[in-house]
Amino acid sequence: MSEANKAISRRFIEDGFNKGNMAAIDEIVAPGHTNSGPGSLPGLPPGPEGSKQIISVYRNAFPDLQLTVDDVIAEGDKVVTRWTGRGTHKGELAGIPPTGKTAVTTGMGVDRIVNGKIVESWGIFDQLGMLTQLGVVPPPPGG
């Protein structure tokens, strides 16, 4: 079960974020799916639609977005994925106009999978680092 669950979480990243394949999201995200954690966006609807919205926000802001899976660990019904994301800010992101700058950030997600579908996700990524690289937030003193 763990290997099958790892493949589902990997597919969410590769097909969803990297390829923008929204049909894949319909296949692997459960109707009642919830997305939470500091890496989420407020007001997302449950189910595949919420996942599609969050993917679209980042793919529109970073059209060349690529997430590389660095580690995947599974136990029981949970999968933890550590990733590195790279992209060029060419579209609006949460009211921030395009900067044309490239950002590299790291993040982690935990997916709970039941009957071959992701039913719950919790994510976090280095938003401050990303905003600093885009020039939206000044770097920390001495940094």
HEC profile of 17-40: HHCCCHHHHHHHEEEEEEEECCCC
The CATH number of 2-133 is 3.10.450.50
**1/127 Cα distance (integer angstroms):** 32
Nearest to 122 by CA among 107, 138, 101: 107
- Mind listing the pLDDT tens digit of every residue in the chain (143 residues)? 799 999 999 999 999 999 999 999 999 999 999 998 887 778 889 999 999 999 999 999 999 999 999 999 999 999 999 999 999 999 999 999 999 999 999 999 999 999 999 999 999 999 999 999 999 999 888 76
- H-state helical runs in the chain: 2-11, 22-28, 48-61, 127-133
Domain boundaries, the chain: 2-133
User: Under a CB-based contact definition with an 8 Å cutoff, are residues 74 and 6 in contact?
Assistant: yes
**62/92 Cα distance (integer angstroms):** 9
Q: What is the pLDDT of residue 143?
A: 63
